[in-house]
Structure 1
Amino acid sequence: MKVLVLGAGVIGTTSAWYLAKLGHEVTVIDRQPAPGLETSFANAGQVSPGYSSPWASPALPRLALKWMLQHNASPLVIRKRFDLAMFRFIQQVLKNCNAHAYSINKARMLRVADYSRDCLDTLREEIGLTYDDRQRGLIHLFRTDKQLDKARQDMKLLAESNIEHQLLTVPQILAREPGLTHAQGLLKAGLYLPGDQSGDAHIFTQRLAKRAEALGVKFLYNTTIKGLDATVDEVVSVRTSAGHFRAESYIVSMGSYSPLLLKPLGLRLPIYPVKGYSLTIPLTDETHAPLSTVNDESYKVAITRLGNRIRVGGTAELAGYSQRLSPDRRAGLELSFSELFGGGDLASAKYWTGLRPCTPDGTPIIGAAPGFKNLWLNTGHGTLGWTMACGSGRLIADLVHGRKTDIPALDLTLGRYTP
């Protein structure tokens, strides 16, 4: 079957890889000059099934009000603007801020993320791919008793999903991450997730794209996707800056831009671009640096070791499609890193921002597009695109191929938003 994948980020590239492995003729189209240059470029670097949690939680409304009163270090920023899509997204998020929805959404996310980690392990072993990767687990750091109480609730869901985890004392944290020694006075406890990993998603995407090309996948770069031509129930072509392209099946993996592409077809994707920031810091002192990856619950910041670099990522900013680099957001990332570690050259750090395609319930949209027999969706992964990439690629490939999926996938489709 001839398949067109729209988008060459980590999601589109893994989709193309698994489709090619099943024997399909695959072409990937992207406006960038190479794969993985947008949201996949400089994310936090964590492959973290155990940390897969929806934003929409019972505590979010209270925390959101608290965060909006903070300045530089606020994990959440809502820019003042008239934006109906943003208002609709916030409303849908708030509808999910109850214990029942949180339990369902988190269990669904854990299912996809845990499967994806297993797919990544298999892929890495099969083709010997390296990407500044480490398989040393993640530690979620708590500074207050309230954070610890919430963690105990999450641990129940982790246990129900058979996700290995361990609550660590401060000495146990330091045994795994000695670079935190000078910050031990700030810490109450930590949640250790041994199955979590880290790695550079950009390097992974570029190297996997090369392997996919060797399988026959074609990548059309510097090609802007302008729209889809369709009949009542079937897509017939993709309009691009290089002309029309036709296939038997079409997969949309354009992240935050997916809703804009599909709106003319009458498909409303509940995806909003939530802006994230990161710093990539040259390592200067091994004794004050992470060995693997940690999350700072107080500032909602992830700090990850990537070879001789340290990646610090965080912030959720609702500002439409703006990609302006905010000095205030940089200050918040620097604060968390300096308090916990500090073993890097902040003056030489590379500052970056990207748009995360977030759904109100936190789960990506994977499956057939309603009303169209040859249109498929693999998008809306939010902050967990890297974590869920391989599993999502494998799932969509199996669905397009008509093969039974390894995990339940019916509740991952756009249909879950239809009453």
Structure 2
Amino acid sequence: MFEFSDTSRHYQAQLATFMDEHIYPNETAYHQQLAQAANRFAALPLMDELKAKAKAAGLWNLFIPPSLAEFADHDGLSNFDYAPLAELMGRVLWSPEVFNCNAPDTGNMEVFMKYGNAEQQAQWLKPLLAGEIRSSYAMTEPQVASSDATNIELRIERDGDDYVLNGRKWFITGALYERCTIFIVMGKSDPDNPNRHLQQTQILVPKGTPGLEVIRPLTTLGYDDAPIGHAELRFDNVRVPAANLLLGEGRGFEIAQGRLGPGRIHHCMRLIGAAQRSLELACTRATQRTTFGRELSQHQSVREDIAKSFAEIEMARLLVLKTCKRMDEVGAKGAMDLIAASKISVPIMVQTIIDRCMQIHGAGGLTEDYCMAEAFNYARWCRQADGPDQVHQMALGKQVIRAYTE
């Protein structure tokens, strides 16, 4: 049986109380501030208030593992111990930022921790850890199938003491946010290298650098995910100093793999929280409405949907916890099979669960009166983010076949 550490249990209780006292009661106020904002991608006053309370409560940067604890105000939490905390945060989609545990910033902070030099960490990591600035990770491109990262075409070319970038990016999460100040950009610096995994480089581009243009905000199923958002970008002779290089030329694919493993499982953790809350709301709804002379909860079809959803959430949670345990023991690379299994299974399972819960709510389930429609959107785009289902299925299938035939 899985058992969380005393530290994790302490944080779980503390975080659950914080959610009850400060997050759920402010859901309406958050959306009202967003609707009334002159700029939908500006920081909300309520977010700043809640971040200050979370920081004062010690609920800050909980995603940082023990191996990187030098960057945290705590001893670090294993993936396993962090999982129930991320699940709690996932119950309200905007709440991870309150605790400085939101994507894409957590992954970007880990990039700076693992691969950044002292100067880069001082300039960018320190304010990110403090929640003073935000960041973006620019990899996906509109003109190529970015599910194969070696297709990336944005050019990164050395010119004296600088690098010059030319190309396009899209679905760049966080790029529109008013407080986003730094982009981690992946592109090709050596397109003719016979090793396709050594053609890529990652480099830092400050927002506002001449030639970097935000073309437009993008939506997913009609949601613009403000204030963080997703954007299309153009790099037109964007010039940055060679000191902005991360790790070294040709190391871009290596950095991407090191970043995406934990990020994939963090999304799965949060999705379980979204599914769990949706199920709880569906159960409440089923006891509050009647059709054909009896409560919805008395209908066989409703009970079946509730039962299936409960079972699937338990399966998803156990798979994620097993994956986390393996990651803690052997690292993300050694747990690639279970990370892929989680990434394949959890988003589509949660999408199906939330769909059932929306159905139990009738037409109301499709509206912003409840959290489910936005959570459904999150689950759906997670099936594309950090690698689409098909890529993980292909990689896992290859690994499983090899394991049983060699």
TM-score, normalised via structure 2 length? 0.24
Higher-strand-fraction structure: 1
More helix per residue: 2
* TM-score normalised by L of structure 1: 0.23
Larger Rg: 2
Higher relative contact order (CA 8 A, sep 6+): 1
